[in-house]
Amino acid sequence: MAASATAPPEPSNLRRIVAASLIGTTIEWYDFFLYGSAAALVFNKLFFPDSDPLVGTLLSFLTYAVGFAARPLGALVFGHYGDRLGRKKLLVLSLLLMGGATFAIGLLPTHATIGSAAPVLLTVLRLVQGFALGGEWGGAVLLVSEHGDARQRGFWASWPQTGAPAGQLLATGVLAALTALLSESAFTSWGWRIPFLLSGVLVFVGLWIRLSVDESPVFKAALAQAEQRKAESGQVEKMPLVAVLRHHWRDILIAMGARMAENISYYVITAFILVYATTSAGLSKQTALNAVLIASAVHFAVIPLWGALSDRIGRRPVYLIGAVGVGAWMFPFFTLIDTGSFGSLLLAVTVGLVLHGAMYAPQAAFFSEMFATRMRYSGASIGAQFSSVAAGAPAPLIATALLADYGSSTPIALYVIAAALLTIVAVACARETRDRDLASVEAGRRDDDAAEDAREASTADAPASA
């Protein structure tokens, strides 16, 4: 069963699955990052107009962080049903929720129209975005990981990861085009709504592609085995959340630690940079957006290369290259930006994102290979999304507050370096997973479950037999 479940699919079928995951994650990240860019550029004026400009930016980043707070809930709900019902159904639902919330933001009245109700509604829609994204990531990477050839899993599973820079590229590109074509007053008045409304069109494209792919063969095989065990012995599976916390608690902690540097560095480099470059380095919004736009294109290109390298030398070595590199780059990163040169800004952001890619690329395969099939969606999602509350959610907020308090980039650089050290420790404690077969992980965990269940049964029967 394991062999058949992990046999390489036809190349055309695998490419269609990769395309379905990539397009879906691109749309979801486009929606998510669009909010982050808008929070840095216009939401402080539209939804918090009575505040000091920097305080208004802090408040808009606070609503940005709220989306991260909802991601763990999305991870729990989508993980549970994704492990029970399958990856494909939940991916379609996540896309609909994300697209609908983003489209609604484009129609939202501002503070000038409805007063304090405007930021409240904005926060609610941001919560829906976070909930949807909390379930999206795990399903997208698992759909590819569980279809692909184990020998190239790092490469193929890294393609859904390119949805993040692709979404960033798309969101930043649309905003850059609008700020270039429209006057600042026109963009602030109505132009900012256009990229949010475009999400409605993109969702239909993503749904059309996602509905055309098959469910993961590894999941279908594991589901059939679970149903057979239930029919033969009456044994009912534990809830995925209970099972994953029981058997994979160490892997969840490792995944959470591994995410810290990756998540924090990304949002400092791509979101906070829009604030720092315009307020401290004296660069224009257009210049900062252009730098992030070009760097995101490079980021997109290098992620599959890092993924392929992880197939050759392992997930851990590539991940450690990224964590060490990001930590070492932070002081040069801000020094380059402080020159006020576009070339230096572009170099700073590009190198930062290339090093980030060394963590982000192997992450999909690395996390997938940690968990058994019937709890893999829950495990990968919980490990990835719960850490985002402590990492990516407050990163722009903390960085902005540090800048306001100290007027220097040094505390911000030390903040990212501390996260890098935590990630280095977490990854160093992990086992290498490159050679694991996803179906055999299920088999190994099932044997552990059976042994543990037998011990529990004998313990429960001991008083009666005595």
* Full DSSP string of 1-51: -HHHHTSPPPHHHHHHHHHHHHHHHHHHHHHHHHHHHHHHHTHHHHH-TTS
Q: Alpha helix locations (H) across 215-314? A: 217-233, 240-247, 249-267, 273-279, 285-313
- Whose CA is closest to 387, among 402, 401, 367, 371? 367
Whether the Cβ atoms of residue 388 and residue 144 lie closer than 8 Å to each other: no
- Whose CA is closest to 241, among 373, 76, 89? 76
Residue 11: its pLDDT value, please? 57
Residue 413: its pLDDT value, please? 97
Residue 464: its pLDDT value, please? 38
Whether the Cβ atoms of residue 170 and residue 305 lie closer than 8 Å to each other: no
Residue 327: its pLDDT value, please? 97
User: Which portions of the chain are predicted below pLDDT 70?
Assistant: 1-12, 50-58, 61, 64, 148, 229-230, 232, 234-237, 440-466
Residue 449: its pLDDT value, please? 45
Residue 256: its pLDDT value, please? 94
Residue 422: its pLDDT value, please? 97
Residue 56: its pLDDT value, please? 65
CA count, 13 A, side-chain hemisphere, 320: 13
Residue 318: its pLDDT value, please? 98
DSSP 8-state symbol, 235: P
- Residue-wise pLDDT for 345-364, tens only, equals 999 999 999 999 999 999 99
